[in-house]
Copies of this chain bind each other. A is one copy, B any other.
Amino acid sequence: MAFTSILKIRFDDVDGAGIVYYPQFFHLCHKAFEDFFDDASSVSYPSLINDLRRGFPTVAINSEFMAPLRYGDIVLVKLAIEKIGRSSVTFKYEIRRKKDAELCFSAHITKVFMDLDSNSVLALPDDMRTLLENIL
């Protein structure tokens, strides 16, 4: 089970070497993460952040870059879930070029559920756990 966003590589996503700037791969991952909430959750990520003042700051990243992306590429950003802990979640991302399905990037990104006002770690509430288990 997984969720996939289809995204365009934009004019400003490239670097001085003419390929997608490597931190932009994480921007793409976050767009898919937001799209997943818009698609699957009753609460959008902006609403979780702005209204409920909760969110998922990133605590660890493990990633590999297999092939460059270029301006004009369309990419499939696939988000899956690898592990759900008491308050942490490890997401697995894969980014493929649409035209040839080549795997260009993969990452394991661990996030922790937090109260943004008190800056404290929270146990995942049941509805959030259920939401995430649906794509486990």
Contacts and interface: CB of A to CB of B under 8 A. Distances in A.
Contacts of A15: 11-12, 14
A72 to B, nearest CB: 3
Interface of A: 8, 10-12, 14-19, 21-24, 26-27, 30-31, 34, 38, 44-47, 49-50, 55, 57-65, 68, 70-72, 107, 116, 119
Taking the full assembly, how many copies of this chain does it contain?
4
Nearest to A44: B72
Given A61-B61, A63-B61, A27 B49 contact: no
Nearest to A66: B59
Q: Is the interface of A mostly helix, strand, loop or mixed?
A: mixed
A16 B48 CA distance: 11
